Amino acid sequence: MEALIANWSYPTAVRFGAGRISELPDACRAAGISRPLLVTDLGLAKLEITKRALAILEKSGLQARLFADVKPNPVALNLLAGIEAFRSGGHDGVVAFGGGSGLDMGKLVAFMAGQSRPVWDFEDIGDWWTRADAEAIAPIVAVPTTAGTGSEVGRAGVLTDERSRTKKVIFHPKMMPKVVIADPELTVGMPPAITAGTGMDALAHCLEAYCADFYHPMAAGIALEGMRLVFENLPKAVKNGADLEARAHMMSAAAMGAAAFQKGLGAIHALSHPVGAIYDTHHGMTNGVFMPYVLAFNRHAIDAKIARAAAYLAISGGFDGFLRAVIDLRAEIGVPHTLQGLKVDGSKRELIAEMALVDPTAGGNPVRLTKGGALHVFDAALAGDSPRH
């Protein structure tokens, strides 16, 4: 078997392999960081892997401090507290450590600590990112501890605006971490449900990127191989969290999904974002619930494309076989078949549909998303209707 250790430079410098968390001090120095603020979420702050990372930094002489006031779906108040911790501690860079929330918040703190304008001025709309003072953005080292969002190789962060209860994407090219340490040993402690949810997030990124109409054959190829890695390794990682090979492949798939979705996302994410903002559901698990219903909704536009993917993945039956494979995967790893399994009801269906239409990911859906279409998918996912369109 090939050794699962490598150094990559796509789309940034990635140090991949078991045990490479020991290189964290060197990665910080390579990024020009001597006083790192390690940003993570509250749950992760208590775990041994976080304590070990801080100890590695301290032992090497780097003056690291911890900031962990981060909700699972981060909000602006978390960001303001992180900026204050960065400034008051005299830090010169960030170690973004964790799953999507820790990684996104770490990147946002590094981005916003030197800005004078409010964060919402840099939403991923047109060229709003050019409003930022690029020279004031602090360097970032990213250390993922889950295999889902791929935020470690992304140039944006997701932040919930509590005023409107909407998730917004904040973007700047310099939010891309300078160095990533992708150590699959850090994901071994993830419980099965989180492994399943984050894995479905990686699959959703790959699947929606592959299906998006935008011309980007390089991203499409990455997405296709990412899907293969998920189908082959996610059940193994959920069943046996100590399966380091499966964990490593899932960590690759997560980064591949994030690299690929510059091609586009779609209705899975457009619907998951408002549901997550309103009901505080796990993003990846929400993606997993919506996935077959969105596939069915998009069928007439992606039938041939999905048939090609199924052939590559050795799934028989073309589109129908692929859809069955998704449903079987969900059942095997414990993803609910309906939104009710996430404690989501229909009371906000109209609002969710309206929010989905203006979500920045909606434009990548291969079938134009209307309010009626969003309601159709939401209702099907709520009731568990046979995913046909």
Spell out the domains of the chain, with CATH numbers in brackets: 6-186 (3.40.50.1970), 191-383 (1.20.1090.10)
Average pLDDT over residues 21-35: 98
CA distance 59 to 110: 23
In the chain, where do the E strands start and end? 6-8, 13-16, 36-39, 65-67, 93-98, 140-144, 156-161, 166-171, 179-182
Alpha helices in 172-317 (DSSP H): 192-211, 217-239, 244-260, 267-279, 283-297, 299-312
Closest CA to 66 of 54, 81, 52: 54
Return the CA Rg of the chain.
20
User: Is residue 276 predicted with pLDDT exceeding 50?
Assistant: yes
| CA–CA dist 334, 62 (Å, integer) | 42
Q: How far is CA 100 from the centre of its chain?
A: 5
pLDDT at residue 7 greater than cutoff 90: no
Confidence of residue 8 (pLDDT cuts 50, 70, 90): confident
Query: Which residues neighbour 337 within 8 Å (Cβ) at sequence distance 6 or greater?
Result: 289, 327, 330, 331, 384
pLDDT of residue 164: 83
CA atoms within 13 A on the CB side of 273: 26
> What DSSP assignment string belongs to 297-309?
HTHHHHHHHHHHH
Residue 229 has pLDDT above 90, yes or no: yes
User: What integer best gives the mean pLDDT of the chain?
Assistant: 95
In sequence order, which residues have a C-beta less than 8 Å from that of residue 311 and are 6 or more positions away? none
Residue 107: the pLDDT is 98
pLDDT value at residue 388: 53
d(CA 191, CA 333): 12
Q: Is the pTM of this model over 0.85?
A: yes
Backbone region of residue 90 per phi and psi (left: phi > 0; alpha: psi in -120 to 50; beta: other values):
left
Please state the rounded mean pLDDT for residues 377-383.
97
How far is Cα 340 from Cα 210, in angstroms, rounded to an integer? 28
**Do 366 and 211 meet the contact criterion of CB atoms below 8 Å apart?**
yes
Angstrom distance (rounded) from CA 261 to CA 88: 36
11 upstream amide cis, omega within 30 of 0? yes
Q: Do residues 291 and 268 lie in contact, with contact meaning Cβ atoms separated by under 8 Å?
A: yes
Tell me the C-alpha distance between 219 and 257, whole Å.
9
Lowest mean per-residue pLDDT among 57-61, 79-83, 100-104, 385-389:
385-389
Q: Is 61 exposed, middle or buried (0-12, 13-18, 19+ CB in 10 A)?
A: exposed
With contact defined as beta carbons under 8 Å apart, do 220 and 256 qualify?
A: no
Q: What's the pLDDT band for 389 if we cut at 50, 70, 90?
A: very low
Q: Are 322 and 203 in contact (CB under 8 A)?
A: no
- Over residues 323-341, mean pLDDT: 98
Average pLDDT of 252-257?
97
* pLDDT score recorded for residue 243: 97
Is a pLDDT exceeding 60 seen at residue 146? yes
Report the sign of the C-alpha dihedral through residues 376, 377, 381, 386, in that order.
positive
Tens of pLDDT, residue by residue over 181-192, are 999 999 999 999
Q: What is the pLDDT of residue 2?
A: 62
Confidence of residue 165 (pLDDT cuts 50, 70, 90): confident
d(CA 225, CA 206): 9
pLDDT tens track for 280-313: 999 999 999 999 999 999 999 999 999 999 999 9
